[in-house]
Structure 1
């Protein structure tokens, strides 16, 4: 039997941690190995427990989720899903740039949480199309986003490595399309899309779809 994916829950509200832990307790392939109330505790617990996935709130005392995510990713202590409420989280894109592997809305259904943990735990990114659209709508207004010209110049060498077809795929990734939607729009096979996406990630030196979306928008190709 395959070992369950281990999960660390990080939120300064005990009721949220308890609720998530209760939801996950019935899943045989997921195991909550710890709970932390702030980013500093999360790092210490990640060092000790080596979780596969860390569900991370953003706004917390002592150390916020952005700083904790950056350190956790840099030290290879686990993959991070950001817990966020879009209406109040002004640090969303800083968290992405810190290396988060995806998003989870605090009002997500139980099955969404479970599927998100499985996806990220097995090395995939989680950027659902509907979430991408909201990310895109805020990206231009994000105070930490570089000016368009600066972003285009900074990413020019990376983008220059992409083929014309890969640029087409990157534009659609940046617009929030799923692999299936890209295949339909470009009239190519799903396996071909997957190959293009993997090549794009390698050439842009990004871990996942999140990084590709950021580059697509910072460079102005979307």
Structure 2
């Protein structure tokens, strides 16, 4: 399952807010066997959101959009997603009923930003907040507030599945450039996916759909990087 992540917010582009939503969703999807094929950050602009969501929806199996959901002036994501599918943003009976079922419901909650969803959308309940999300075709619209986003994603997490991926990490005390040939040989021998991440030490991440293959590949690599690290 190929998934694209779209994080919406001027504050993300300005660096005022760290984009923790993309990192958390990437980890959750990876654990379920789905592949995050694209992650983008875009401003609170209807035209931009509309164009990017429409394009990504055609290219990938699913698109998750976070941010810009709610009743405030810059919460334009629902309107943009509706436009991406040539739908109207209309009062949604399930959204009205959703608020009326909750003890925290008040008349002030019944605003365009909370009860209006793209026509024909499936309402996604918000177990940790007020504004609901929506699923339109293969696009899932979630809040930008991290706690609310996590709670809502958990209600649809089972819809994101794929082949289980197993991982082992090897920490290497050597320059990343010294590992190029060894990593190439590793991939040729075991057909695994390998990522290397420099820091105080190089963290080498080995992945495959078979646990035994990952384990054998990691052992093979450890035996050889010991020699590399002593050079």
The structure richer in strand per residue is 2
The structure richer in helix per residue is 1
TM-score (norm 2): 0.31
